[in-house]
Structure 1
């Protein structure tokens, strides 16, 4: 036994030693790399011309056209393109994730969120577009933004950094809702904005969110989603504006106008509208992030219907477009993912619709997410799985795309251009579009932010109040049972005894007396969420709500038992339409929310705010009806429990 113990101890000490040595080597390598990279930097001086200040970004002691904000964008782009090396042009075309170290420091070595250090990415790989995943508080984020812009301005041409983010303002965000939120004003999800039917409110949301983003240095919004929620099983419905194309078009245009204004400028955040040409008609409702959801199908022959919101986005001058992962099955001459499909990008978007803005792929279509050689998330290379990395790059560029989201294969693209497979002229086309957006946003003139102002702007009281109003306006009253005497179940009188589930008791105590036992209560108030299938075969899959929409046993019986004992008010968070015929029959009052804090729900329940929201999708009566639907058609389930547009009020 002693020998075995000694052997185990020896093994553990050796393993610990190997890990320690590997860590020292890893940290030492990146410390040396970062120091060597920093030696390539040059300080930027300020020029004064005609009494105006300018940054000497290329450090040549004179004012070049691209440094002069008085010049038109096209002239500035021409000037900097003439000065750029091929490597610098190629660096524009990649848009990987980036991380932030503690207290707003630049990421000094790779992590799960970013596989290279910030210095390596900017100085050696010449990258200047990054997707921000982990978000710190406003001050730290603003400090980090200034540090990364300062690093960028000291490179050869001083090309500024464009920082992007997925939606941050929803209460239950699609991905990373707890880890990556940040301290923003809180609004309903986009599906909830659609439920308000208030396009002016959506414009106001865009303006507020844009101010908060700009305050911390974020200048590209990887949203809105103009997709249509025509299959209720789809796991991304809460990011859409529902299943009706005309409502979604109205909301999409308002959203873009709020973020960008009438024209893209220094007070704009550029919108990357997604997912061209509409990612909603997923076969069996499965999402295209996964191989089993790669097909988008059109059994109702309704492909063009899904283009309607994108037509509105183009009219609103969306700065950027993102295609989806999926294959539009049998809609073109080849069944490949959207970003690989020349008919989808060049013929339809570029030529038929005349779009000349930036087209950026969805994330990870060239390679998946890996860390230390271990694949965390598979590549979304549907239809071209057998192609090599270089062949996929060629196919995407020939399809008409400008930028690769989530990847950074700069060396492979450089090789392809040098060997003549891709022309430098074609690279210039994409570089021109990407640079034009940077110039229009004013990043070449002043990319820096004020950390003190960031603290004052982000989540300020006025913004918070607007978000709280939007939450209340988005809640839909679906059922308000009347007694034989004609009295409605809602609103509830204040001061009664209530039993609650999934509601903050301190918040509830502001409206009524909260009791711990159901038998002591006058009324039960339950906050629930639409059911989904637990799937966690990989990191990404665990973040999605997919599959069945009905409550399973024994939970369904437990809920019905509560309703049989006491009058029960139910509020369901509907990131997807829940299948709830039994719960709907048994409860006294039924609400749907699309991202709302407890006080917003309780204000409706106790009558401090009259419900006004209307359903942005129909609520089906059964899973059989869901399965019988055609994936590309709106509101086509048999005998829906509640139709599209339904909503009650107290008035």
Structure 2
């Protein structure tokens, strides 16, 4: 059948189901289908089940056992092994098997591989899809050069509860921004074609709704209406599918009572039928076994049955598929088709990766192995430094304390100032802390005058025994938290003595990277330990005080914000983080980052995302005593809103000009503003467009991001920034999950953050 005819047939016969949107389905690759069908006819049941198993070296699967399984074709892939020589040994074993089916090799490469870029929230703070793509291309190149075929990335979960430790990995709270970033990252990782060295298969995660876990507690359940699910939380996963992502990793959580690993609606109905996803569906680590913990499976046998019938392609850290599927098949509880469908997806992924054509495509030959896997030339320092600078967000700068003068005497204080481990952030792949640049290192490079650089630790990141026991538990990953044996009083006094000798104090505080990680949910968003007391003591010296934050989640730093003269959010900024931070502190780079997630004033405000629904009694700023939806003992709204970020220059935004007052379906409406740099130096900013559906069949968010443009302006320069709006931008899922734009009045808002916007109205006819 010709491709054109195939597309016509798909259009006529396909049904998207409730709430789905359609797009053309690609024509089948008949050579691939023929190859896989022929191979599967030769495979035994044991070999087929083996392809559904994704395991790593560990107590459950010792190295020798995995080599044996690879040689018997009872293993589909290996994760968490890295390095060409080691992977070559496993591939050699696989190619000694009867059918010579190659393995694929996977790893968590969330924000870089050897060169660590800023964590997800940091990358998201660039508001720059080219920067996102650059980080993805370099990660793919480095991972492929180490023999990896697949990366468990990007992490695309919407996160609106900063208590959740894994908020650090993703793109933040906004649906539109996250979908744009997801598309860029998937395309960057996978390249133009997957069967080329230098490109890797992306596995988007965690499908679905992981970031909405109750109370921000990792692995907790999610109970959510379908309209909200479709509206706010599903679009980034769908963006990954539309970008051609090769694999999707499932979430651990139960969605409306049904764990993702056994959720037929989620996998078969939504992902496979409505979205037409043809790639791998991979469980998270040990998730099939955890169906028993969820209480939906009596034992391993039932867990394996539920997972395979739900549409799982591969079981990560598997024993249950191996042990239970043969008996389930024999008894008829699982059909041959259930297994064959999953096997076909695994073999299809290996085909797409080029592994049947060349099993050593990314592993290469021994003669080409790098002599030193950590060699400096394998890093991409210039690129990561540039992206890291773009990720930094200036939150406060009273009296233009920043940028600093390079002739000043600078005191660098704080428990994270010299940490090369923490600046890499969580999920740091195989990046080396020995090659990382700490904040202290970066400032030392910038000053290039040891006599003008002072240092004191000032405090530990925490002294709480309960927290330390958790972070320093045997086998803890990331690395242990360093504790200074001196008393807090002694460290504090030393810091004050050092501060008094300086012209300016830079205090580097926040969380150790292990505090913003999988399983690391926090009940408090305050700075841990004695760090607030340290900041207060340094303020008492009367010296200008610059707060440098290192953290993987929004923190409630209202007190610290008041104490500091300047606040710079740096997240965990990666291999070149210290140099990038110094570039901004000393004005060699003008900060342009914007927050991808709101900062609450206190944990009691959570959730405090910007795109909330209105209420029957919205807050009234001009009537603070009115009975409205607010906390009466806290100032209204976040400390720092979504989209916020300052510069060393200032910008003005004109009123909005619309090309028309009404919009007909099928047409476009233009909205533009004039942005002018009214400061004294060149700088960049992000112009953001939001909409509000004033009256609809269901309550709509007070603002929704629908477009953004990052611009650079010289001092005194101005630029017209133009956006086009169409019917598509106004669509939403109604109570019946119909996706449509309803006629009526809309507000269009444009500004440099989500709080301070100019506003005009138009009508959709």
Question: Which category of TM-score, normalised to the shorter sequence, fits these structures?
Answer: 0.7 to 0.9
Does residue 1:75 correspond to 2:34, yes or no?
A: yes
Does residue 1:605 correspond to 2:585, yes or no?
A: yes
Q: Describe the shift of the 1:163–1:493 C-alpha distance in structure 2 as closer, same or farther (beyond 3 A).
A: same
CA distances 1:469-522 after superposition (whole Å, capped 9, x unpaired): 11111011111111xxxxx10000003111112334454333341124121111
CA contact (8 A) 1:325 1:380 kept: no
CA contact (8 A) 1:186 1:468 kept: no
- RMSD after superposition: 2.9
Q: In the TM superposition, what is the alpha-carbon distance from 1:576 to its structure 2 partner?
A: 0.6
Q: Describe the shift of the 1:454–1:496 C-alpha distance in structure 2 as closer, same or farther (beyond 3 A).
A: farther
Q: Describe the shift of the 1:401–1:632 C-alpha distance in structure 2 as closer, same or farther (beyond 3 A).
A: farther
Does residue 1:551 correspond to 2:481, yes or no?
A: no
Following the alignment from structure 2 to structure 1, what is the Cα–Cα distance between the partners of residues 94 and 356?
11
CA contact (8 A) 1:617 1:643 kept: yes
CA contact (8 A) 1:530 1:549 kept: no
Q: Describe the shift of the 1:630–1:587 C-alpha distance in structure 2 as closer, same or farther (beyond 3 A).
A: closer
Following the alignment from structure 2 to structure 1, what is the Cα–Cα distance between the partners of residues 513 and 445?
32
User: In the alignment, what sits opposite 1:129?
Assistant: 77
Give me the TM-score of the superposition, normalised by structure 2: 0.64
| Structure 1 segment 408-557 matched on structure 2, within 5 A | 408-409=319-320, 410-448=322-360, 449-450=364-365, 455=370, 460=377, 463-482=380-399, 488-501=400-413, 502-504=416-418, 505-512=440-447, 513-516=452-455, 517-530=498-511, 544-552=520-528, 554-557=530-533
Q: Describe the shift of the 1:613–1:631 C-alpha distance in structure 2 as closer, same or farther (beyond 3 A).
A: closer
| Structure 1 segment 42-441 matched on structure 2, within 5 A | 72-98=31-57, 111=59, 114=62, 117-124=65-72, 126-132=74-80, 135=82, 141-167=83-109, 169-170=111-112, 184-267=114-197, 268-288=199-219, 293=220, 295-298=221-224, 302-304=228-230, 305-329=232-256, 335-367=257-289, 379=290, 381=292, 383-384=294-295, 386-409=297-320, 410-441=322-353
Q: Secondary structure at the match of 2:446?
A: coil
Q: In the TM superposition, what is the alpha-carbon distance from 1:411 to its structure 2 partner?
A: 2.6
Give me the TM-score of the superposition, normalised by structure 1: 0.75
CA contact (8 A) 2:157 2:206 kept: yes
CA distances 1:423-482 after superposition (whole Å, capped 9, x unpaired): 222211111111011011111122222456563998646722111111111011111111
Q: Describe the shift of the 1:400–1:462 C-alpha distance in structure 2 as closer, same or farther (beyond 3 A).
A: closer
Structure with more strand by fraction: 2
CA contact (8 A) 1:231 1:285 kept: yes
Structure 1 unaligned regions, length at least 5: 1-69, 99-109, 136-140, 171-181, 330-334, 368-378, 483-487
2:545 equivalent among 558, 568, 574:
568
Structure with more helix by fraction: 1
Q: Describe the shift of the 1:609–1:161 C-alpha distance in structure 2 as closer, same or farther (beyond 3 A).
A: same
Following the alignment from structure 2 to structure 1, what is the Cα–Cα distance between the partners of residues 513 and 227?
28
Q: Describe the shift of the 1:350–1:328 C-alpha distance in structure 2 as closer, same or farther (beyond 3 A).
A: same
Structure 2 unaligned regions, length at least 5: 1-28, 419-439, 456-497, 615-628, 631-635, 650-765
- Aligned residue-pair number: 521
User: In the alignment, what sits opposite 1:19?
Assistant: none
Q: Describe the shift of the 1:339–1:259 C-alpha distance in structure 2 as closer, same or farther (beyond 3 A).
A: same
CA distances 1:340-379 after superposition (whole Å, capped 9, x unpaired): 1111111111112122221111111233xxxxxxxxxxx3
Q: Describe the shift of the 1:532–1:411 C-alpha distance in structure 2 as closer, same or farther (beyond 3 A).
A: closer
Q: In the TM superposition, what is the alpha-carbon distance from 1:252 to its structure 2 partner?
A: 0.4
User: In the alignment, what sits opposite 1:66?
Assistant: none
User: In the alignment, what sits opposite 2:709?
Assistant: none
CA contact (8 A) 2:46 2:326 kept: yes
